[in-house]
Structure 1
């Protein structure tokens, strides 16, 4: 077996020791064209150090070969040796035919550094030289998608898709589905996902189709795609929440709870699954089960506000005020923003006859609940009983403003005159 064949077999088998043993012979006995091909294969399989040895050798043999400088610079960037890579790229003049590749490599570098504006400038320079080059257009579309300029990215993907279905290993119909979904254009996304699924089925495509259908309120369709996804990949955890939510939107709360429990069995560390299980347990009149799920969600994230808020709501409705207060005071110690819980805290302290703390929380809650008559009713009577008539009068006026046809508030306001 010749050296080239042995090396290619070793690369494909991932045999690092054999690759290293053969590298010397490749450098000495294999022609430059084959050395270049082997370097590319090494890069594709992730053997960057060995590929760099070959490219460095080829650069020594062909010091003026521009393409080798670009390839070496790209490889060095992957290895984190940016300074040397930039030195190679900057040494290539604008007059070289390969200069658009230089600009694209620089754009990739700046994009990796988060310097998106500079990256776009380099891509635009390259497109001025080769305005109809699909690879450059695709690179710019990828950048625009990454920085959230979805409609511009979609236009470029559409333009490329007129002439080709696939570029750089990416099927454009799939990318169009992704960019429309990312931009919130779910009807367009759904159309492209269904087109993509005609060619091939994959978990990501099925999830994208299910999610887009859900956002378009096509819940039966979302269920169908999510079920197909669950069958194809039972460990695609996001499918369970989406499937449960779809059943819930169809008011099949029993099925929604069943699905979310199945999801928790697959992924016991996803706080969102526990939160939704808590909410569905409430819908199914299972408050004790709901509480358990919510506490598990909070155990996974002690600052999970939506779970905390739901749990406190349950505790407050059951007048378990000591537990509400205990939770509030723990959050205070942790310097957590519990302002959303102020109304519950105020009510619990009030019922526990800790009027000083109740007053503190009523005042905090008033800012967020000025438009809530139920809260204002509790607050105004608390203020009256606490002897704060001027403040009570202000809250009474707010009640009258919100419900001018309610005689009780008019009567209450008159008592202050």
Structure 2
């Protein structure tokens, strides 16, 4: 038995690193080059890269024409963060070398690692020209374009691999990538078909989630619920499924189920802003306004500047006549940033109902430039100016309203009566 074989036995079976190191030194001195090459490959695969590097460097010194050794050493250099060394090693591989295409692939990987995808693409295209039927090159190009979000360019390479009967490469399921690529292109129905054609064992949690999202996107709510419920049963801590499942249930008006899903999801991700907003929405729709307020407050506790939620909660307070709560909410918001126009309108209503007319007038006027074309706002404004007997302001509000709704005879009569007053 060679020293290399003995070393691997000590490593893999006995887990005896002390004696394995001694046998490694003996292997370097006494084993033939082919045996050492095999040992280097196995150590590299097992993650013993310093030892693999020593073997490949020794073999390269003895056989400088063996460019495949340079590709191994380059990969080890990249793993160590030494991209310059990797590029130098690969640049030494000449076009007439049998390892030239392999070197181009390795060089493309290095440049992609360095964040220079245009050079990576150039190297892969050269490799494709030299070896047009090599599946690994099609895969590398597909993955590059997929990573860059250039889905239309990735698609034909994934399709070519599938046509060649390549189901998996580098632990990537080609059908999964094909589905994700089609989804990225917006071809949702074709993406669904690609996912549905996958064997059961290829439907991991991520893929099942993507399929559920595609059903949701295409408003196939029943299929979305079925798919995402299966994911929930198999992987209940897969947090992203819960907002999607709740949306699918709400799509079928199953609001009680959607609220239950929100609560379960918050058990796994209590700070999920999406779930809190959905919970507010669904609780409001089923009339459970106390629960809606709880959702809103939790969201605002973690994101006090969420203006959409502030407006939604304010709208609820105005609807329910909770004017003190509304004024407190919007006063706090005003201290942090300029209010949204809807907030001026809302706080004006609350001040008016609390008979704080100066504050109400101030905020109605602040809202006016933004809502002068909104007839609902103008009706509120007309009613307010009537209540405080502000004749000139009332005339101006009526004039603006009648410009938008000239057929409202009641308002026209009010306007005419005001004009006739002395």
| TM-score calculated relative to the size of structure 1 | 0.83
2:57 match: 56
Structure 1 residue 98, shift from structure 2 partner: 2.7
Partner Cα separation in structure 2 for residue 189 and residue 266 of structure 1: 29
Q: Which runs of 5+ in 2 are unaligned?
A: none
Query: Structure 1 residues 88 and 202, CA, compared in 2 at 3 Å: closer, same or farther?
Result: same
**Greater displacement, 292-301 / 14-23:** 14-23
* Contact 1:7–1:22 (Cα < 8 Å) also in 2: no
Match of 2:174 among 172, 175, 179: 172
| Range that drifts further, 35-44 or 127-136 | 35-44
Secondary structure at 2:197 match in 1: helix
Q: Deviations over 1:212-231 (max 9, x none)?
A: 11212111111111121111
What is the CA–CA distance in structure 2 between the aligned matches of 1:309 and 1:15, rounded to whole Å? 66
Q: Distance in 1 between matches of 2:247 and 2:96?
A: 58
Contact 2:108–2:119 under 8 Å retained in 1 = yes
- Offset at residue 293 of structure 1 (A): 1.8
1:187 CA drift (Å): 0.8
* Contact 1:380–1:396 under 8 Å retained in 2: no
Q: What is the SS of the residue equivalent to 1:95?
A: coil
1:255 match? 257
Is 1:202–2:204 an aligned residue pair?
yes
Cα deviation code 1:241-284 (max 9, x no counterpart)? 22221111111111111122122223223222222222222222
CA gap of 1:382–1:87, structure 2 versus 1, over 3 A, is: farther
Confirm whether residue 88 of structure 1 aligns to residue 89 of structure 2: yes
Within 5 Å, which residues of 2 pair with 1:183-262? Answer: 183-198=185-200, 200-262=202-264
TM-score, normalised via structure 2 length: 0.82
Correspondence for 2:75: 74
The 10-residue stretch of structure 1 (400-409 or 303-312) with the greater mean CA deviation from structure 2: 400-409
Shift of 1:35: 3.7
- Residue matched to 2:363: 358
Q: Is the 8 A contact 2:279 2:295 kept in 1?
A: yes
Confirm or deny: 8 A CA contact 2:10 2:20 kept in the other structure: no
Within 2, Cα distance between the matches of 1:395 and 1:22?
A: 98
Query: Where in structure 2 are the equivalents of 1:12-411 lying within 5 Å?
Result: 23-166=24-167, 167-198=169-200, 200-335=202-337, 341=343, 343-345=345-347, 347-348=349-350, 352-353=356-357, 354-355=359-360, 358=363, 361-362=366-367, 366-367=369-370, 369=371, 372-378=374-380, 393=396, 397=400, 399=401, 403=405, 405-407=407-409
Deviates more, 1:113-122 or 1:149-158: 113-122
- Shift in alpha-carbon separation, 1:296–1:124, aligned structure 2, 3 A: same
Q: Secondary structure at the match of 1:196?
A: coil
1:101 deviates by 3.0
Work out the CA distance in 1 between the residues paired with 2:36 and 2:205. Answer: 38
CA distance in 2 between partners of 1:337 and 1:219 (Å): 37
1:109-132 Cα shifts (integer Å, max 9, x gaps): 333343333332332222222233
Change (3 A) 1:64 1:268: same
Query: Measured at CA, do residues 388 and 242 of structure 1 come closer, stay the same or move farther in structure 2, by a change above 3 Å?
Result: farther
Residues 243 and 158 (structure 1), Cα distance of their counterparts in 2 relative to 1, 3 Å cut? same
Residue-by-residue CA offset, 1:91-115 (whole Å, 9 max, x unaligned):
3333333333333333323333433
- 3-state SS of the aligned residue for 1:285? coil
Q: 1:392 to 1:196 in 2, by over 3 A?
A: farther
Cα distance in 2 for partners of 1:416, 1:18 equals: 107
- Bigger Cα displacement from structure 2, 228-237 vs 321-330: 321-330
| 1:134-164 deviation digits (Å, cap 9, x = unpaired) | 2112211112122222222122211221112
Contact 1:165–1:173 (CA under 8 A) maintained in structure 2: no
CA drift at 1:287: 1.0
The answer to whether the 8 Å contact 1:48/1:79 transfers is: no
The unaligned stretches of length 5 or more in structure 1 are: none
Deviation per residue, 1:16-74 (Å, 9 max, x gap) = 77766654344344444444444444444444444433333333333332112122112
